[in-house]
């Protein structure tokens, strides 16, 4: 749930900073959905922990795939939308340092490419790379995104 709160807060801040492009809404949708997918993955994993489910091999396997899909590529792709929704307006409006905004775009690209894990198991390395890089990027952006827009005269 902290991810959903972060998404709502950063979306509101982008609006307050004058961002009227879809980036703020994309960030909000990506963050809320990423949080929801991760919560659903956790709930499915909890179901897997129940002793009455353990004896049903086919059900267990189906639930394992569902938990992975929701918490793996499903969550990471949506996390990439959150990062991109902040990085693009951060770059275009000069709200973030250029290097951080470009790094955010790279992280978002890796997150979107993580869907390849559905086609090739070798792409699974993209999931933790995008997840942890994305979370670190969100922390940095949260600290560096200004509270108010500074207007320059001239």
Tens digits of per-residue pLDDT, 43-66? 999 999 999 988 888 999 999 999
* 6 pLDDT higher than 80: yes
Kindly state the average pLDDT of the residues 95-120. 96
pLDDT value, residue 150: 61
Name the pLDDT band for 134 (thresholds 50, 70, 90).
very high
Q: Are 4 and 31 a contacting pair, CB within 8 Å? A: yes
Residue 51 token pair:
């002793």
Q: Is 18 left (phi over 0), alpha (psi -120 to 50) or beta?
A: left
* Averaged pLDDT of the chain: 92
């Amino acid at each position: 749930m902290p991810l959903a709160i972060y998404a709502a807060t950063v979306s509101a801040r982008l609006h307050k900073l004058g961002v009227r492009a879809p980036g703020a809404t994309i960030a909000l949708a990506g963050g809320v959905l990423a949080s929801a997918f991760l919560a659903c993955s956790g709930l499915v994993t909890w179901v897997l922990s129940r002793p009455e489910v353990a004896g049903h091999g086919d059900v267990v396997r189906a639930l394992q795939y569902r938990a992975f899909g929701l918490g793996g590529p499903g969550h990471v792709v949506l996390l990439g939308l959150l990062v991109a929704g902040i990085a693009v307006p951060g770059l275009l409006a000069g709200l973030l340092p250029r290097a951080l905004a470009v790094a955010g775009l790279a992280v978002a690209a890796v997150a979107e490419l993580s869907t390849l894990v559905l086609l090739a198991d070798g792409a699974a390395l993209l999931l933790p790379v995008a997840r942890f890089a994305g979370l670190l990027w969100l922390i940095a952006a949260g600290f560096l995104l200004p509270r108010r827009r500074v207007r320059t005269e001239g």
